[in-house]
Amino acid sequence: MSFKVAFIGAGSIGFTRGLLRDLLSVPEFKRIEVAFTDINSRNLQMVTELCQRDIKENGLDIQIQSTLNRREALRDARYIFSVVRIGGLEAFQTDVDIPLKYGIDQCVGDTLCAGGIMYGQRGIAEMLNICKDIREVAEKDCLLLNYANPMAMMTWACNKYGGVRTIGLCHGVQHGHKQIADVLGLTKEEVDIVCAGINHQTWYVQVRHNGEDMTGKLLEGFENHPDYSQTEKVRIDMLRRFGYYSTESNGHLSEYLPWYRKRPEEINEWIDLGSWINGETGGYLRVCTESRNWFETDFPNWMKDPALEYKQEHRSEEHGSYIVEGLETGRVYRGHFNVVNNGVISNLPDDAIIEAPGYVDGNGISIPRVGDLPIGCAAVCNVSISVQRLAVEAAVSGDDMLLRQAMMMDPLVGAVCNPKEIWQLTDEMLVAQEKWLPQYQEAIEKAKGRLAAGNLIPTKQNHGAARLRVKTVQEMAQDREAANRVAGESDKAKVRPTAVK
C-alpha cells in the first residue's frame, strides 16, 4: 500500500515526529511516501533528521522528502497534515502582550479572545494560499487534516472558501474522558462518552458506565478529587452551573468566557500555577519560548536519545493516523471530529464548525446526528460561533469593521473593554502584525494614522495577574528531563507553532 502524506509546518518540535510515528505504526503503511515542508530551514532540517533517524532505526526504507517548496511537498499528496502557526512566536508575543495593556489577561490566546481572533486573521490568509496549492497539485479529493488553531475558524475557512475537504482534529475530548474516568474510579475503557459542541467548548452530553448514566455523579467527583478540585476550578464551576463537563483545560476555558478573567484581583481564585495549562498568564507563550530555546540548544542530545519505536502500543491518541488507517484499510475508527455542522447539532447554526462523534471506515467519514445540545450549553457555544463567523469573514475579506465587531462580541474582550478601547486595541494589533496581514493593507495605513495622531486612550504596562518568567537555557539544563517535558508541552493539543520559531 502506497500513498503520499504531506506535513505543512513540519518543523514543529515534537508533533510532526509523533504523528509520523503513529502513521508508520500501521503495518500496511510501511511503504508510504512522506513529505515535510516549512518556512524555517533550520527547524525543518532538525525535525527531518530526527524523523529520518527514527525511520532507519525501525528498519523502514522511507526517504522523507524535505523541502522549503510547499507545492513540491503537496504534489500528489492524498493526506495533508497542517500544524502551522503563522507568524510564529514573534506574532504570538503580540497576541498576548498588546491585549494585556488593555486589561485582557489570556492564558493561551489561540482560539477566541483578542489573541485567538488575530491568530485567525494571520492563519486564514495563509491557509487560503495553501488550499490553492492543494487544489492545483495534490491528489484529487485529498483530505486536509487540520491541527492548527484557531481550529474552528481555520477549518471553517478551508471548507467554505478554500475549496478543500477539511477535517479539524483535537485531543481535548480524550483528555477530559480520562479525567471523568478518574473521578468515577474507573478506566477510560469502562466509560462510554458522547461529546458535542464546538472545539474547546465541547460538552460531555453522555457519560455511561454499564448502561448507567453517570452525569449526575460528576460534580461531586470533581469537587472531591485531590488534584482536579484545585487545577480545574473553572471547568468545575461551569459543570456546577451548566450541568455538563467541558472538554477544554482550565486555562483555555477561562479565556473563552466573560466571568473568570475580567477582574485581575479574582483571576488567581480560578487558576492554579502548578502547570501553565491551568491558567497562567501567557502560559503557552512561555512554554513555547522555552521549548524553542531548549530544542535549538539541546538538539545534538536529542539525536543521541533512543529512537521512537513504531509499534501499535506506542501510538498516541491523536485522531489523524486512525482516520487515514480507517479510510485506507477499512478498519472502523470512532472519534470526535471538527466538521461543518449541516444539522448534526440541531440548535447550532448549520454553517458552524462543530465537534461531534464520527466513524471512519473504507466508505468514508460519517457523522451521526446528535440533535439538540442542552440549551445552556448551546447558548455558550452560540456566542463563540458568532465571534468565529465574524472573524472568518473579516479574515477572508480584509474588512476591519468585521474584525472590530468580532472583538466587541468576544466574551472576555467585551467584559473588560469598552468600544473605544476595542477600536484602539484593534488598531494596535493590526499595525503590530502588518507583515502577516496582507488583506488589511488599507486598514493598517489608516490605523497607523490614528495611532500617530495622538489623543490615545491611556493603557498600562500590565504584567498580568499570574505571569511567570521565561526560564533560561542554563536553568533548563539543570533538569534535562523536565526541559524535554516542556518541549512536549509546546505541542499540546493543536496549538503547534510552525517550527516553534
What residues are labeled active site?
Answer: 171, 256
What's the CA gap between 501 and 482, in Å, rounded? 21
Residues 6+ apart with CB under 8 A from 178: 188
DSSP letter for 465, please: T
Angstrom CA distances, 483 to 41, 118, 180, 293, 294, stand at 24, 29, 29, 10, 7
What count of residues does the chain have? Answer: 501
- Please give the backbone phi and psi of residue 273, each rounded to the nearest 5 degrees, phi first: -95, 10
What's the CA gap between 97 and 470, in Å, rounded? 14
How many other CB atoms sit within 10 Å of the CB of residue 189? Answer: 7
How many other CB atoms sit within 10 Å of the CB of residue 340? Answer: 18
- Say if residue 334 is exposed, middle or buried (CB neighbours under 10 Å; 0-12, 13-18, 19+): exposed
What's the CA gap between 247 and 148, in Å, rounded? 17
Q: For residue 226, is the peptide bond before it cis, meaning its omega torsion is within 30 degrees of 0?
A: no
Angstrom CA distances, 467 to 80, 285, 288, 415, 496, stand at 36, 11, 14, 21, 21
- Residue 214 cell numbers, joined: 453517570
**Degrees, nearest 5: CA angle 143-148-151:** 90
Q: Are 311 and 305 in contact (CB under 8 A)?
A: no
DSSP 200-235: TEEEEEEEEETTEE-GGGHHHHHHH-TTHHHH-HHH
Q: Name beta bridge partners: 7.
A: 36, 81
Q: Are 250 and 280 in contact (CB under 8 A)?
A: no
What's the CA gap between 193 and 203, in Å, rounded? 10
Q: Are 20 and 309 in contact (CB under 8 A)?
A: no
